[in-house]
Chains A and B, each alone.
Chain A
Amino acid sequence: MKDEFSRCHPGINFIFYLLVLGVTLFYIHPVLLVLSGVTAAAYLFRLRGGKGLVQVCLLALPVVVLSAVINPLFSHQGLTILGYLPSGNPVTLESVVYGLCTGGMMGVVILWCATWQDVMTEDKVVYLFGKGFPALALIFSMVLRFLPLFLTQAKRVMAAQRCVGRDVGEGTPWQRLKKGVRVLSILVTWSLEHSVDTADSMRARGYGLRGRTLYHPFRWDGRSTALASGMAMCFGCVAAGVVTGQLNMLYFPVWQLNGTTVPACVCYALYGVLCALPLILNLVEDLKWRYWMCKI
């Protein structure tokens, strides 16, 4: 399925992750966490389907649970005492809540990082960070080209060895090691051969001339500016809410959440919109197409 958010300018993608991950990481607030977590899960579902979401959740959930269990074992701050450990230290409600929230934070970050993998492909990363280091960006691109090639060649060589009755996966560990080393050594020779050709091809096409420029297929349009300013506005409101104390979370000595005032609700809503941006873009696109199809 086409993902509208991935097709935005890499700058938009990057600003989005910067803001959302920034808030999630540095301001641990239960409501904001839930908003961030739900939208991250929904977006991941959209990208990878139920199976993919479950896979990532299986990785994230233990982190949440572990953090919620471990934190009260070692942190004994807080006034609401739930019980006592065998060592005589108290288990407090506050440390459980704090553990749950930091664990939740880590879980949500894992979810967002999973979506990052799908959205921020290598070419986008190279484009964003390659401007300062053009040579490094090219090397990165060449490594990405070379690694799969090397693996394919390794597979081919091993398959060919099977043709002469020398399966690398057969025999005693010592024999296998010997065969493996043999394959590796010929792969090194092959890599050298390969790099000579690649270097020729690069020089033939003028690599090393002065004044190299960078090509990229991305275009920053009006929509990008609109999206960027929209995201900045949402983030600004949330930040303002934090600074003015409308959004507030105190864990110790007694955990205390800000009241549900109108400004707080506005902040929640705007943060929700910010986090849901990829989903909203996809939804708008889907609706547009459905509407269009009706007309056609």
Chain B
Amino acid sequence: MALLDVQNLTFSYPDSSASALREVNLHIEPGEFVVICGRSGCGKSTLIRQFKSTLTPHGTRTGEIFYKGTPLHQVDLRTQAGEIGFVMQNPQQQLVTDKVWHEMAFGLENLGLELGDMRLRVAEMASYFGLQGWLDRKVEELSGGEQQLLNLASVMAMHPQVLVLDEPTSQLDPMAATDFLHTLQRLNQQLGLTVVVVEHRLDQVFPMADRVVVLEEGKVLCDGSPRQVGQALAHHPLGVCCPVPMQIYSRVEGGEACPMTVKEGRTWLEQYRDKPQPPMEPHAQPAPRDFALEAREVWFRYDRHGADVLQGLNLQVPRGQLYALMGGNGGGKTTALSLFSGEHRPYRGQIRIGGQVRKRGMSLERGVLGVLPQNPQCLFVQDTVGADLEELLDELPLSRTERENRLAQAIRVTQLEGLLGQHPYDLSGGEQQRAALAKVLLLDPEILLLDEPTKGLDGCYKQTLAQVLRALTGQGKTVFMVSHDVEFCAAYAHTCGLLFRGQLVCQKPARDFFLGNHFYTTAANQMAREVFPQAVTVEDVVWACTQDK
């Protein structure tokens, strides 16, 4: 008997004519790991919110959902609360109480458990998730990844039969996201827990999943094993979210024996070993002499007695390029950005902006620098995107036509046309980011500073962002970004730098940068390293494979 059985489910929101879900059929067996994916607005969240009566949005519904054979609305709320665990997107906003131990016990208190039982369950879950050391801490002291792990642990303490997660990693940095997904996999494999997860990091969840369900416009587009779905998605916009080996395979030959991991991909690529290798076109760039941003022997620390975060940083950002500064957590990337933006000042060394030494009190208003904060949502102050943009323009000393030109240009570059009437908080992560970017662009900055711009974006939004950034560098603007996202930087950045312990250990044009690295490199490069040593991106490998076919 299926654990969750969705039969002919159609759902529409009260004030909309189109159905959010149409004739959805889905059977989830006990112990399955099911990934639900689709582009934003396809009804993923609407669907999984039907799995729990208290979270179901208002609207008209036909069809039925069965939980262990009983219609869900007849299952009492206590059983639902305990047995169907639900983890949402935003780690912070799900936390109810102030202390870690209280948060873990919150659900158990609601179920009315005895103190002894609660102690045991909290102890079990804290040990399983390795939270023993934090129990006495305040929840706000935890990082985003730790908070989401706490949310998971608090739901797990209620001993659910099925775990439903709504984009749990979209607010996390890549390392924390990987950790979180591996924890899910561990729960699934060690405890046999049924997991239903909405996720856009398909490259990471595909190897874990038993089944993948793709939704499009409220309908099930395909439902099958990851390999089958990978094939089906080959020419779909969602294809760019699939694991890199899958993308390459489906574009080179296509078929059933699709590789999912780098390991499988290497084995498959062996057949191309003896193929005569066409020489890669050299990406010769003239050595740039004009630098938009420059750090010379910069030293910085936050505390007088603290450790140095930057230790003699030397960094040059050529004008008109997209520069990506990479490196692990705590390496000083964001600190370097804050020195360029003027939020902090180095205690030794120079920061040069456009060739001039930054002096105290030089503000952003001169139209040289634009900074996009890591959380773009913080930038909005009005009820609609359009009003938000116009409101900023009102205070700039510009003529009417100039204003209209700037507004039109910013909207065009960031592809915001259809979104101007919406509330900024209702936009998806990628749309919010573009709206925020448009706001920064209204100031017409020469140099843009971006902090983790791809955080939480799915593959489609990343492509759009890349187009936007391309358009900007095409206009001669300089973009400096701090990022963890190897694939994105490899595909779109001009120059990459690697920061480690406060020093720049490597700074090269993107291709040379990734060819020179062994571990800190793209999946495509890791996969094709032996066969095509010059290939860095998916495009490169596909090109090399299909050269003389």
Contacts and interface: CB of A to CB of B under 8 A. Distances in A.
Interface of A: 122-123, 138, 141-142, 144-145, 148-149, 152-153, 156-157, 159-167, 182-183, 185-186, 189-190, 193-194, 197-198, 200-217
Nearest to A211: B112
B111 A215 contact: no
Given A164-B443, A165-B365, A185-B381, A215 B102 contact: yes
A164 B389 CA distance: 11
A205 B98 contact: no
A212 B109 contact: yes
B379 interface: yes
A141 B102 contact: yes
Given A156-B375, A194-B93, A206-B107, A163 B370 contact: yes
Q: Which of A204, A212, A217 has the most CB of B within 10 A?
A: A204
Q: Which of A123, A152, A160, A214 has the most CB of B within 10 A?
A: A160
Contacts of B395: 166
A123 B102 contact: yes
Contacts of B108: 213, 215
Interface string B129-160: 00000010011100000000001001100100
B93 A152 contact: no
B185 to A, nearest CB: 23
A162 B363 CA distance: 9
Which 3 interchain pairs have the tightest Cβ spacing? A206-B81, A215-B105, A160-B378
B4 interface: no
A152 B140 contact: yes
Nearest to A205: B107
A163 B373 contact: yes
A160 B372 CA distance: 8
Interface of B: 52, 54-55, 77-78, 81-82, 86, 88, 90, 92-99, 101-102, 105-115, 118-119, 122, 135, 138-140, 151, 154-155, 158, 341, 343, 363-365, 370-373, 375, 377-383, 392, 395, 425, 439-440, 442-443
Main secondary structure of the interface of A (DSSP, over half): helix
A198 B96 contact: yes
Contacts of B88: 197, 200-201, 204
Given A160-B373, A201-B95, 17 more contacts: A123-B102, A142-B96, A145-B140, A159-B378, A160-B375, A161-B381, A164-B443, A166-B392, A190-B377, A205-B81, A205-B154, A205-B158, A206-B77, A206-B81, A206-B158, A215-B122, A216-B115
Contacts of A197: 88, 90, 93-94
A282 to B, nearest CB: 19
Given A210-B112, A211-B112, A163 B93 contact: no
Nearest to A183: B381
A214 to B, nearest CB: 6
A161 B443 CA distance: 13
11 contacts: A142-B98, A145-B140, A148-B138, A149-B140, A153-B378, A163-B373, A167-B363, A189-B383, A206-B81, A213-B113, A213-B114
B54 A182 contact: no
Contact of A213 (B77, B92, B109): B109
A132 B139 CA distance: 25
Nearest to B77: A209
Nearest to A216: B115
A214 B109 contact: yes
A271 B94 CA distance: 49
A212 B114 CA distance: 10
